[in-house]
């Protein structure tokens, strides 16, 4: 009788029943949630880079903070800071305010887990107007802010509540030494021990050197290796390659993960890397790769949902655990740069160093393991190349 009923309803219905039976409930749940959307990301980047916001510094920074407040309020997210969406950042004297962090919260539904917090953040400040020239900061970091707001929208509008609580934060004054995130960590609205995971993104709309198109890089999993399966799962069926790197590839703490890293809070830092328009007036909205920005935003959205709903979030380990996949990623970056040697104007000495390093890394990948001294050499070469070329 069941087969007769299915024949009467037709093949599409039968296929739908089969898909439903074979698809895990968690996957169906993810697919039913609202997702970050390219059109909304594009519109938000356009707003953030408009002349009205003045390069998001000074008066433009204050207007940008107010814009974020209005977005959070429209999403009906709760204020993060004692009934306020803004956290004033003083400079020495309490009455001298130089910036504002902006934050909202989505309180978790599980009585046992709601006091644990996941943070998704992006800095919203940029370089302002210099000598009459607007610095729009589309990639740095309107791209990250648009992602953060879109994930906030998707989670606020989801019919399924998260078990843990989530903060959405726009940090101010990142460009002058991570001032906003440093102040937040020193004056957190919740005890730092209750922050299970910090995720941030800075420049996720272009590509490293303008040539490493498929890649977005994520750093931080070396201190919480249990996050790696989540990253791999979140990036499945997305048109981006997620390259997991150790944070020490960067010489300094280059973005707002730094203060959280110093407090040994698990973190993930997403970036597509510096491109030729970095910190120039040419960092305009029309230069971004919006399908790529959408894909990265969806990966991060899935990670936040996973972290907010999992029974346990991976914890911090002191000694970083690096992988052979990192070696393959560095090798592929160098290959991409070499393939574009003329565009990047790579010198003879740099070519020699890069070609030798690629051959060494190929042998290491084939061997399947890397020694600590080999990795130290790889990191030093990567730093030299990035400084010299970018």
pLDDT of residue 28 exceeding 70: no
pLDDT band at 126 (very low <50, low <70, confident <90, very high): very high
| Average of per-residue pLDDT across 150-157 | 98
Greater model confidence, 71 or 250: 71
Task: Tell me what percent of the residues of the chain surpass a pLDDT of 70.
Answer: 92
Q: Where are the domains of the chain?
A: 25-309, 324-389
Cα(136)–Cα(30) distance, rounded to whole angstroms? 34
Question: Hunting for tokens 């590839």 — which residue is that?
Answer: 249
Task: Tell me what percent of the residues of the chain surpass a pLDDT of 90.
Answer: 87
Q: Pairing relation of β-strands 165-171 and 267-271? A: unpaired
Q: pTM of the prediction?
A: 0.91
Query: What value does the CA radius of gyration of the chain take, rounded to a whole number of Å?
Result: 22
pLDDT of residue 370 exceeding 50: yes
In whole numbers, what is the pLDDT of the chain averaged over residues? 92
Greater model confidence, 26 or 347: 347
Contact 320, 246 (CB under 8 A): yes
Cα(299)–Cα(294) distance, rounded to whole angstroms? 9
| Average of per-residue pLDDT across 63-71 | 99
pLDDT one-digit tens code per residue, 274-310: 999 999 999 999 999 999 999 999 999 999 999 999 9
Q: Pairing relation of β-strands 267-271 and 215-219? A: antiparallel
pLDDT score recorded for residue 250: 87
Contact 332, 243 (CB under 8 A): yes
Cα(251)–Cα(207) distance, rounded to whole angstroms? 19
Query: 140: which 2 tokens?
Result: 């740095």
pLDDT score recorded for residue 27: 47
pLDDT band at 13 (very low <50, low <70, confident <90, very high): very low
pLDDT score recorded for residue 16: 43
Q: Which CATH architecture has domain 25-309?
A: 3-Layer(aba) Sandwich (3.40)
The CA-based dihedral angle spanning residues 139, 142, 146, 149, taken in that order and rounded to the nearest 10 degrees: 140
pLDDT one-digit tens code per residue, 72-86: 999 999 999 999 999
pLDDT band at 31 (very low <50, low <70, confident <90, very high): low
Greater model confidence, 29 or 189: 189
Question: Hunting for tokens 């001032």 — which residue is that?
Answer: 179
| Among the ranges given (98-107, 144-153, 247-256, 269-278), the one the predictor scored with the smallest mean pLDDT | 247-256
pLDDT of residue 22 exceeding 60: no
Phi, psi of 279 (to 5 degrees): 55, 40
Print the SS3 string covering the chain.
Answer: CHHHHHHHHCHHHHHHHHHHHHCCHHHHHHHHCCCCCHHHHHHHHHHHCCHHHHHHCCHHHHHHHHHHHHHHHHCCCEECECCECEEEEEECEEEEEEEEEEEEEECCCCCCCCCCEEEEEEECCCCCEECCEECCCHHHHHHHHHHHHHHHHHHHCCCCCCCCEEEEEEECCHHHCCHHHHHHHHCCCCCHHHEEEEEEECCCCCCHHHCCCCEEEEECHHHCHHHHHHHHHHCCCCCCEEEEECHHHCCCCCCCCHHHHHCCCCEEEEECCCCCCCCCCCCCHHHCCHHHHHHHHHHHHHHHHHHHHCCCCCCCCCCCCCCHHHHHHHHHHHHHHHHCHHHHCCCHHHHHHHHHHHHHHHHHHHHCCCCHHHHHHHHHHHHHHHHHHC
pLDDT score recorded for residue 252: 74
Q: Which of 77, 45, 83 is nearest to 64 (CA)?
A: 45
- Chain centroid to CA 280: 22
pLDDT score recorded for residue 342: 93
pLDDT band at 11 (very low <50, low <70, confident <90, very high): very low
Query: 220: which 2 tokens?
Result: 């931080």
């Amino acid at each position: 009788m069941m087969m007769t009923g299915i024949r009467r309803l037709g093949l599409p219905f039968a296929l739908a029943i089969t898909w439903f039976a074979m698809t895990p409930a968690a996957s169906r749940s993810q697919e039913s949630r609202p997702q970050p959307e390219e059109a909304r990301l594009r519109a938000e980047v356009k707003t953030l880079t408009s002349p009205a916001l003045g390069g998001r510094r000074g008066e433009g920074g204050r207007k940008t903070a107010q814009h974020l407040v209005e977005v959070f309020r429209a999403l009906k997210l709760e204020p993060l800071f004692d009934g306020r969406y803004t956290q004033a950042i003083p400079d020495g004297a309490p009455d001298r305010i130089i910036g504002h962090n902006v934050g909202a919260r989505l309180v978790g539904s599980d009585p046992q887990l709601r006091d644990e917090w996941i943070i998704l953040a992006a800095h919203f400040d940029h370089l302002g107007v210099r000598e009459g020239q607007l610095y729009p900061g589309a990639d740095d970091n309107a791209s990250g802010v648009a992602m953060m707001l879109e994930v906030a929208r998707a989670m606020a509008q989801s019919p399924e509540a998260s078990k843990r609580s989530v903060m959405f934060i726009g940090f101010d004054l990142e460009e002058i030494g991570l001032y906003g995130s440093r102040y937040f960590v020193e004056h957190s609205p919740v005890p730092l021990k209750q922050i299970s995971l910090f995720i941030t993104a800075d420049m996720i709309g272009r590509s490293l050197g303008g040539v490493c198109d498929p890649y977005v890089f994520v750093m931080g999993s070396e201190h919480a290796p249990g996050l790696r399966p989540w990253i791999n799962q979140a990036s499945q069926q997305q048109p981006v390659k997620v390259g997991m790197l150790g944070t020490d590839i960067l010489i300094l703490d280059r973005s707002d993960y730094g203060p959280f890293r110093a407090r040994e809070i698990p973190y993930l830092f997403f970036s597509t890397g510096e491109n030729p328009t970095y910190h120039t007036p040419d960092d305009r909205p029309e230069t971004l790769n919006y399908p790529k920005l959408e894909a990265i935003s969806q990966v991060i959205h899935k990670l936040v949902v996973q972290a907010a709903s999992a029974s346990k979030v991976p914890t911090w380990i002191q000694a970083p655990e690096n992988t052979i996949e990192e070696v393959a990623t560095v090798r592929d970056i160098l290959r991409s740069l070499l393939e574009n040697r003329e565009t990047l104007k790579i010198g003879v000495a740099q070519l020699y160093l890069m070609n030798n390093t690629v051959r060494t890394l190929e042998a290491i990948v084939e061997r399947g393991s890397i020694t600590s001294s080999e990795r130290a050499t790889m990191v030093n070469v990567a730093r030299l190349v990035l400084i010299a070329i970018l």
